[in-house]
A and B are shown apart, each in its own frame.
Chain A
Amino acid sequence: MANQEQAGQHDIVAKPLKHPWRLVAASVLAMLLGAVVWSMVTSPNIRKEVIAQYLFDPLILQGAGLTVWLTVLSMVIATIWAVALAVMKLSENRLLRVIATGYIEFFRGTPLLLQIVFWGYLGIIYPSIVVQIPFTNLVLFNQPTSIVISSFSAGLIALSLNEAAYAAEIVRAGILSVDPGQAEAAKSLGMSSWYTMRRVVLPQAMRVIIPPMGNETISMLKSTSLLQVIAVAELYTTATQISSQNLAQIELLVVAAFWYLVMNTILGFPQRYLEKRFGRGFTRTNALVRTRKVATNGN
């Protein structure tokens, strides 16, 4: 007791401990990094004026726009499909569980690039898409596959279906993170299982789902560049198309890299908003304060 009171009255007067090796390590790293950046900036092989010329090129901007559009669309489709898959995997029905598990295993187990090319080649397996009423000759719809499924749609399908497999596991983890007592309380109030999922379980699961889904979105934005193989005119495809003509490969890669970085930075904002929105009532400090408040304030 006496010691504590004294410590409270007198400020500690002491020389701070020095960390010389941290300083050395930090300086060495900074110098190395500086050297690399400097070598690139001064290199005659990277023409800054070409980068500047194409940075705001209308074709590049269009490509970037398409990249954002593809990212947003496929994340939305994938998320909806993922919730369905997660619910299937948690279902009491064995067949639904097996189907969902098989789907997830298949789409996670094969390369995305392969899946993209597959959807691009869909017309070879099914030359035309026919909608016909079974056991009759009544044809409602008959079109060549190449017209119905453009390279854009093929890319969108490939990205969404693949992403849904990963997102399903994230959603499932989120649902499992919610205390089963929550669903019981909801049931006891007469809520249906769908209402319970929508209003009680999912809003709480979102807290766990959003951070990894932010990761998935960043990953998706970059994966859209793979659509170059089926000639979707997104950012990377556009950049490589331009550079195949003017042979400024490195410069256009820099331009593309710049826009990918900008877009990913911007995509971080909605994530922060969503985390705040679904974190309501859950702040960590509250939980800590609660236990202490109970002890001190009582009711």
Chain B
Amino acid sequence: MATSLSKAKSEPMVRALAVRKSYGSNEVLKSITLNVQQGEVLCLLGPSGSGKSTFLRCINHLEGIDGGRIYVGDDLMGYRNQGDVLYELHPKEIAKQRQRIGMVFQRFNLFPHLTALENVIEAPVGVAGIPKTEAIAKAQALLARVGLAEKADHYPSQLSGGQQQRVAIARALAMEPELMLFDEPTSALDPELVGDVLDVMRDLAKSGMTMIVVTHEIGFAREVADTVVFMDQGVVVEAGTPKQVLDQPQQERTKAFLRSVL
């Protein structure tokens, strides 16, 4: 019911099966099932508290889940399935799983004690073990790609919010992820800075990156997304192409939400 409808290519990049998550007695995700194909851009929409950010954070196991399964490629996130028994993974193995998943946060979360360039090379050098000179060359190319080649030596505190977010995207891309997660990447930005970040994301989508984007930017979803998923109160209310979900919503809750944001 809530699977993606577009690009039925090969194996899905992300498979979420009946994912449940509770904080105490408050069930924030109630059996979420959805697939994301390779190269697909999926936008998650929904009112605050709908569980969309929580679901995103479950995908790279920043939050553990209480039920269901999440597969990224062949990896069962956070666990190992042997026979019928589920084993919790060692933090090092989870770290390994996360290396193929990039994440961009609402509050950027750049490392403030490192320059833009140092932010980008930290994980490739320290985690992936790439030689420093090679990592620097790659980082400079990535910073150029997000339009910040000349800001390589600036500290985050010397950059605007939009610039920081673009460095954060470059930092995530430096690990050559197969999947990129965006958690409301433009929500903390001044309106005039949103466009540059969205441009970078648009280019990334064009390059074939698989992306899951939690956003309030309906225009971006309409233009870039292959699939739009509308969530409310921990369930997927409606999913489909942008045209289906944004222009001809079937569910009353989707209509009400779209009326309130448009």
Contacts and interface: CB of A to CB of B under 8 A. Distances in A.
A185 B113 CA distance: 14
B155 A192 contact: no
B210 interface: no
B192 interface: yes
B109 to A, nearest CB: 4
Interface magnitude class on chain A: 20 to 34
Interface stretch (A61-69, A93-101, A195-203): A195-203
B113 A293 contact: no
| Interface hub of B103, B105, B126, B128 (most chain A Cβ within 10 A) | B126
A280 B122 contact: no
B157 A283 contact: yes
B155 A195 contact: no
Interface string B88-126: 000110011011011101010111111100000011001
Nearest to B57: A184
B60 interface: yes
B185 interface: no
A290 interface: yes
A206 to B, nearest CB: 9
B109 A181 contact: yes
Interface in A273-299: 278, 280-283, 286-287, 289-290, 293-295, 297-299
Interface residues of B, number: 43
A281 B155 contact: yes
Nearest to A195: B126
B45 interface: no
B160 A298 contact: yes
Contacts of A283: 157
Contact of B123 (A189, A286, A294): A189
Interface string A205-229: 0000000000000000000000000
Interface of B: 60, 62, 91-92, 95-96, 98-99, 101-103, 105, 107, 109-115, 122-123, 126-128, 155-163, 168, 171-172, 175, 181, 190, 192-193, 196
Interface of A: 179, 181-182, 184-193, 195, 199-200, 203-204, 278, 280-283, 286-287, 289-290, 293-295, 297-299
Given A181-B105, A195-B127, 8 more contacts: A181-B107, A185-B103, A185-B109, A189-B122, A192-B92, A286-B158, A295-B190, A299-B193
